[in-house]
Structure 1
């Protein structure tokens, strides 16, 4: 049975992705900082810590898992204007959003090379293409994810495909919490919806569908691609 490894599996998009892969017959090995429900195997820990990936490798070997996909969703955000930028926050942003992917890919590549049609999917963002005031650190890390994806697509081909998905505004607990901090959440949400050609924000399930497509044989001729799933945000703004 195929196994998928998913980071950030306790979050909105991570949980939706784990649920979808389970419904498709995959075993799910999930990791996050907090406990994850409804998966076959889990490792609670920080993906920026190499010890977490060593534990994941131990689970794979002890259970003879056939890992065919790695989905890198774990990440964080950070708001700060450049005048107040904190070096520690910037370093942590790159450690969590970029370096953790590198460590994870390094540890799982030996397993993925054994699986026919192996694939890696990284979480990017349309922010890497448009820039967002006050979120320079986040934007910079997502730009790095795009470049990393393209470079590793060349390095890992032809045995392993690697692509990234760049979502627009997705309704997750994180984005809803931010929305509720605005002076007028209802008006802000309506404004956000109207910024998309489809006049709505996306759902975690819709991004999970894109991730599954990129990990499946249906996308067997795609590698090194940054697939935008933004409800037409980029073409409207």
Structure 2
């Protein structure tokens, strides 16, 4: 089975990359690919995620729940003390709870998903901007989802939050130009702990998914398989790189062709 090779996308050694949510499946793949290219890497993630995930030696970690604005501010203050500039930031943090129709979802659950997937990302972008302005050819990549573009029953709050993230990406790209580029990658189904409850919520990276029949999904994908984390890491690294120097405000869908079927 042919899969992406994130190592074929080259970033300058020594650049400082921040991965918010770097312990989850996609985030960890990005961290590993960047580490192989000798980047300085910082990871912001939940305390329990940092405890579970064995990250490569030399990775700087800061524990924070991005649903808490005060925790985000403190995390970026600590980051600025560690290293004054950021060359690239990837926002991978986020989750969705159990599948629930919008008719029945309560306000607290809805607001929590919006906070984790949208408002928390905005808080990170706001706090990161002064550090990005000190970076070299700085860029932000937000990780969205193809679910924001389709009517996926049960994913209403998550889809709404990620649709907002797509809008955030475009508006911030306009406001941060020309110094900082801002783009998003929107994956389709990817076989990670996200399908089994979420890494930060204790979800496993293998075993039967809770919310997706992998074989049935793969049968609907023109390229014939579900995605893996490296399939997403490679486009993220591309959008951070100088090869994407004239790309900003875009949402890149990475789904093996599934979106055109859905």
Normalising by the residue count of structure 1, what TM-score does the alignment of the two structures yield? 0.92
Give the match for residue 11 of structure 2: none
Give the match for residue 73 of structure 2: 54
Note the 1:72-111 alignment, pairs <5 A: 72-78=91-97, 79-111=99-131
Q: Is the 8 A contact 2:102 2:157 kept in 1?
A: no
Q: Is the 8 A contact 2:21 2:93 kept in 1?
A: yes
- CA displacement at 1:26 relative to structure 2: 1.0
Q: Is 1:14 matched up with 2:42? A: no
Q: Distance in 1 between matches of 2:196 and 2:81?
A: 39
Q: Is the 8 A contact 2:84 2:134 kept in 1?
A: no
Q: Secondary structure at the match of 1:234?
A: helix
Give the match for residue 174 of structure 1: 194
Instruction: State which of 118, 136, 143 in structure 1 corresponds to 2:156.
Output: 136
Q: Secondary structure at the match of 2:103?
A: helix
Give the match for residue 132 of structure 2: 112
CA displacement, residues 106-134 of structure 1 (integer Å, 9 cap, x when unaligned)? 11100101223100000111111112111
Q: Are residues 131 and 197 of structure 1, via their aligned partners in 2, closer, same or farther at CA, if it must alter by over 3 Å?
A: same
Q: Is 1:64 matched up with 2:73? A: no
- CA displacement at 1:137 relative to structure 2: 0.5
CA displacement, residues 2-55 of structure 1 (integer Å, 9 cap, x when unaligned)? 111111111101111111111122111101112142252101120122333333
- CA displacement at 1:181 relative to structure 2: 5.8
Q: Is the 8 A contact 1:121 1:162 kept in 2?
A: yes
Q: Is 1:127 matched up with 2:147? A: yes
CA displacement, residues 128-165 of structure 1 (integer Å, 9 cap, x when unaligned)? 11121111111101110111100111000000000000
- CA displacement at 1:182 relative to structure 2: 6.3
Q: Secondary structure at the match of 2:87?
A: strand
Q: Secondary structure at the match of 1:67?
A: coil
Q: Distance in 1 between matches of 2:103 and 2:174?
A: 38
- CA displacement at 1:176 relative to structure 2: 5.0
Bigger relative contact order (CA 8 A; separation at least 6): 2
Task: Give the total of aligned pairs.
Answer: 234
Normalising by the residue count of structure 2, what TM-score does the alignment of the two structures yield? 0.84
Q: Distance in 1 between matches of 2:137 and 2:209?
A: 44
Q: Is the 8 A contact 1:43 1:52 kept in 2?
A: no
User: Mean Cα displacement is larger for which, 57-66 or 224-233?
Assistant: 57-66
